[in-house]
Amino acid sequence: MGLGEGQPFTTGEYHDYLQKVFPSLDFVPHAFITAKDGRNVQRVVELAQTLHKQASARVGTGELNRVLEHAVAMSAPPMRMNRSPKIYFATQVAANPPTIVLFTTGRS
């Protein structure tokens, strides 16, 4: 049976459903727990710790700019008033949440 048909569904089916409905979020980890049995609680706690560690990480300006250069090469920013914006560089100004500032031409 499955989702939307009034029948219970497995976590595997729900995982597949999430991937189908939100394909652009394929990088987001999924973790399922049960309130009734308390299954997988430790796994969710470990995932939360991992995500906190990632959010607290700092990335160097050089690495950010290499990633940014690759991203722009793959998908250039849209033109504005018949001009292509230029991105000079990016730098991380804070962690947790990670905050990145781009220095560009033009105004927001």
Q: How much is the pLDDT for 6?
A: 66
Same-domain check for residues 52 and 66: no
Q: What is the pLDDT of residues 63-94, one digit of tens each?
A: 999 999 999 999 888 887 888 888 899 999 99
Give the per-residue pLDDT at 1: 44
User: Do 42 and 79 fall within a single domain?
Assistant: no
76 and 48 in a common domain: no
Q: Is 3 within the bounds of a domain?
A: no
Question: Which residue range(s) make up the domain with 16?
Answer: 11-56
Q: Are residues 65 and 51 in the same domain?
A: no
Q: What is the mean pLDDT of residues 45-56?
A: 93
How many structural domains are present in the chain? 2
Angle (CA) 49 50 56, round 5°: 90
Give residue 85's pLDDT.
84
Q: Are 68 and 50 in contact (CB under 8 A)?
A: no
Does residue 2 fall inside a structural domain? no
Token reading at 7: 């029948």
- pLDDT for 26-44, tens place per residue? 889 988 888 888 888 999 9
Closest listed residue to residue 86, CA positions, set 106, 70, 71, 66: 106
